[in-house]
Amino acid sequence: MNVRKITTIVEEIVTEGGQPVEPVARIAVVAAVIDNPWHGQGFVADLAEGIDATASDLGGLLAPRVVEAIGAPIEAYGKAAVVGLDGEIEHGSALIHTLKFGDHFRNAANATTLLPAVEKRAAAGTTFDIPLKHITDATIRSHHQSVEIRVADAPHAGEILIALAAAAQGRPKQRLAALSTEQ
């Protein structure tokens, strides 16, 4: 795995709707920009070799960094893959939709739910939203949120940007009733 850069973003929300947020709401994102392991090979029918060579190392690189960046227990999480224009969306999906990748974050966050995800193919500098859900119960509405990010110079055409996101809480000032009230 060839990593070109790692970007860490920490957002702190101190007011919402004109009201103070206490404690401050924290969201952290860590993104790695890597060479696409299938770049230049044409259509690859079996992606297993690239997955085996990359996914676990990538999860092991990103998970501890996002845990450190959030600096608090994780309550919501998500992941993203943005594939450069010379790749396929399936290349990003192959790396993030495997337990070899996701279990690093799941274990670090003491989580049990599947990681929500976004995948897309785009030029460098694209903006994308990472969906977040609660780490143990995906039906907890307060933790359904997203974080918007952009890495100005990534991904290049032969790269993939892979990101993990974590929140230390649900949406600031959330006021929706529990899902069970509608069932």
Which runs of consecutive H residues, i.e. helices, occur in the chain?
48-70, 89-96, 99-108
Largest CA distance in the chain: 53
**What is the structure's pLDDT at 4?**
98
Name the nearest CA neighbour of 77 among 179, 175, 163.
163
pLDDT at 39: 97
Residue 57 is predicted with a pLDDT of: 98
How far apart, in whole angstroms, are the C-alpha atoms of residue 94 and residue 49?
11
Which residue numbers in the chain have pLDDT < 70?
A: none
CA neighbor of 110 nearest in space, from 141, 70, 145: 70
Domains defined for the chain, CATH in brackets = 3-182 (3.30.1330.110)
Give the pLDDT score at 10. Answer: 98
Q: Residue 14: is it exposed, middle or buried by C-beta count within 10 angstroms (0-12/13-18/19+)?
A: exposed
Note the pTM of the prediction, 2 decimals. 0.95
Q: What pLDDT does residue 51 have? A: 98
Q: Residue 180's pLDDT is what?
A: 72
- pLDDT number for residue 178: 75
State the pLDDT at residue 115.
95
Residue 182: what pLDDT?
A: 76
Do residues 116 and 132 lie in contact, with contact meaning Cβ atoms separated by under 8 Å? yes
Distances (CA, A) of 31 to 4, 11, 43, 99, 155: 11, 14, 26, 18, 11
Residues 73-96: tens digit of each pLDDT: 999 999 999 999 999 999 999 999
